[in-house]
Amino acid sequence: MPPSVREHLVERMRDRNVGLEDFNRLRLWLESRPEVPEGLWFKDFGSFKLCGKGRYPATFLLAGQSAAGKQL
């Protein structure tokens, strides 16, 4: 993951108050190297959503926020 993308995600995690338990679920999911579509996608973790485009995550949304793309 490019450093600029990683830095953006860390900043958004702080802004969205993603807790340690949620972060660990996210980490495990990312470590599984999930297949994602080329276009827009999102993964709902319950307390937040991870949104991406193609192979890279792009941002975090709060649980109640609407996400675009294919739900994983």
Residue 18 lies in a domain: yes
Q: How many structural domains compose the chain?
A: 1
69 conformational bin, left if phi > 0, alpha if psi -120 to 50, beta if neither = left
Over residues 42-52, the pLDDT tens digits come to 999 988 899 99
Range in 17-21, 24-28, 36-40 the model is least confident about:
17-21
According to DSSP, the β-strands at 56-62 and 70-71 are unpaired
Q: Which domain holds residue 34?
A: 3-64
Does a structural domain hold residue 69? no
Residues 28-53 have a mean pLDDT of 92
Positive or negative: CA dihedral 40, 54, 37, 62: negative
Q: Which residues of 39-53 are buried (b: 16+ CB within 10 A; e: fewer)?
A: eebbbebeebbbbbb
